[in-house]
Amino acid sequence: MKKIYLIRPKCHSERSEESLVSSQRPFVARDATQGDNPKRLDESKANYLTVIIVIAALVLAACGSASTPTAIPTISLDNTGSSSNNQSSDVNSVSASAVVVPLNEARLSFASIGRVTAVDVKVGDKVTAGQTLVQLDTSIPEAKVREAEANLLAAQVQVKYLKRLGTDEVHLETAEADVARAQAMLDSANATLSTQSTLTAPFDGTIVSVDISPAETVVPGRVVIVLGDLSSYQLETTDLSEREVTKIKVGQPATIFIEALGSEVTGKIVEVSLTSSTLGGDVVYAVTLEFDDQPEGLLWGMSADVNIQTEE
């Protein structure tokens, strides 16, 4: 019986109050019949009503107090949206949010299935191009190289024998073809061993994420390491809509405010993406900006506000 009351006080307007009252009626009647006292029915009904009204008032009061503070972020959100629109139409400039990204980044994965034996780097390590980052177990590919070597040897012996005996051309050619094939198999096995069992850094950079531990398995295409060249950064806009992208041209200057550093710097457009993406129902294009003078202390992923001057 209590449950009915506990479920009800949820919030919101007179409608819930009405349903509260109507839902109580059968309960009240049943309660009264158990007591066998029609007089008490009226009395308790009145009590119920007052209680219900007080509860409703309290609940409404609670709703009211919660709604005032939530209004603050809603208003501020509207402000930024409208201000960017105003700026773009009034002052020949376009505002957008942007994120700091490195000039060069790589998401590294293996081309084959395997088990990791060693992870030589950790997040934050600086690596040079060609450095080994992750090593796979090579017992199977190594054995396969030895198998290919033995096959090649057998084929070579056969050719030598046939040459000494001086057999006909056809047999000799077949044997020589076997040697060529065995050589190709060996090259292939060696290539698999050297290229697919190690992950090396494609350029000088910093390890940004390591998503692999020793003895874990890898499958082709799963990103295990993210590498970034954290010496030079650029900016990519995140919410520049299709309506505004038409005004943006490569080379246009921009002012960039980086919130985390609290500093304002200048830059210019270097690229306008030719493909779009969607952001909450809006079609947006990524515009890339470079810094005229890169500020100190930038980190990958920091957010920025850019204001692009679009001269007509």
Chain positions contacting another protein, by CB under 8 A: 2, 5, 9, 44, 47, 51, 54-55, 58-59, 61-62, 65-66, 69-70, 72, 99, 113-115, 123-124, 139-140, 142-144, 146-147, 149-151, 153-154, 157-158, 160-161, 164, 206-209, 213-219, 226, 228, 230, 259-261, 297, 299-303
List of long-range contacts for 261-264, beta carbons under 8 Å, 24+ apart: 261/295, 261/297, 261/298, 261/302, 263/295
Task: Evaluate whether 270 touches 250 at the Cβ level (below 8 Å).
Answer: yes
The continuous run of DSSP H or E covering 100 comes out as strand 93-102
Given strand 132-136, what is the order of strands in its sheet?
198-200, 132-136, 114-119, 217-218
Nearer to another protein, 5 or 272 (CB): 5
Minimum Å distance from CB 82 to another protein?
19
Nearer to another protein, 48 or 253 (CB): 48
Minimum Å distance from CB 170 to another protein?
19
What is the rounded distance in angstroms from the CA atom of residue 72 to the CA atom of residue 79?
11
Minimum Å distance from CB 265 to another protein?
15
Minimum Å distance from CB 171 to another protein?
14
Give the Cβ contact number of residue 27 at 10 Å. 13
- The CA–CA distances, whole Å, from 312 to 12, 106, 202, 205, 247 equal 51, 38, 42, 40, 8
- Extract the tokens encoding 236: 């990519």
Paired with 233 in beta bridges are: 102
Nearer to another protein, 2 or 15 (CB): 2
Minimum Å distance from CB 9 to another protein?
5
Tell me, rounded to whole angstroms, the distance of Cα 223 from its chain centroid: 12
Minimum Å distance from CB 161 to another protein?
3
Task: List Cβ neighbours of 82 (8 Å cut-off, separation of 6 or more).
Answer: none
Nearer to another protein, 246 or 282 (CB): 282
Nearer to another protein, 154 or 180 (CB): 154
Nearer to another protein, 110 or 285 (CB): 110
Nearer to another protein, 6 or 170 (CB): 6
Task: Give residue for tokens 């081309």.
Answer: 111
Nearer to another protein, 216 or 282 (CB): 216
- The CA–CA distances, whole Å, from 168 to 28, 114, 171, 173, 182 equal 111, 46, 6, 9, 22
What is the rounded distance in angstroms from the CA atom of residue 305 to the CA atom of residue 312?
22
Minimum Å distance from CB 40 to another protein?
10
Minimum Å distance from CB 235 to another protein?
14
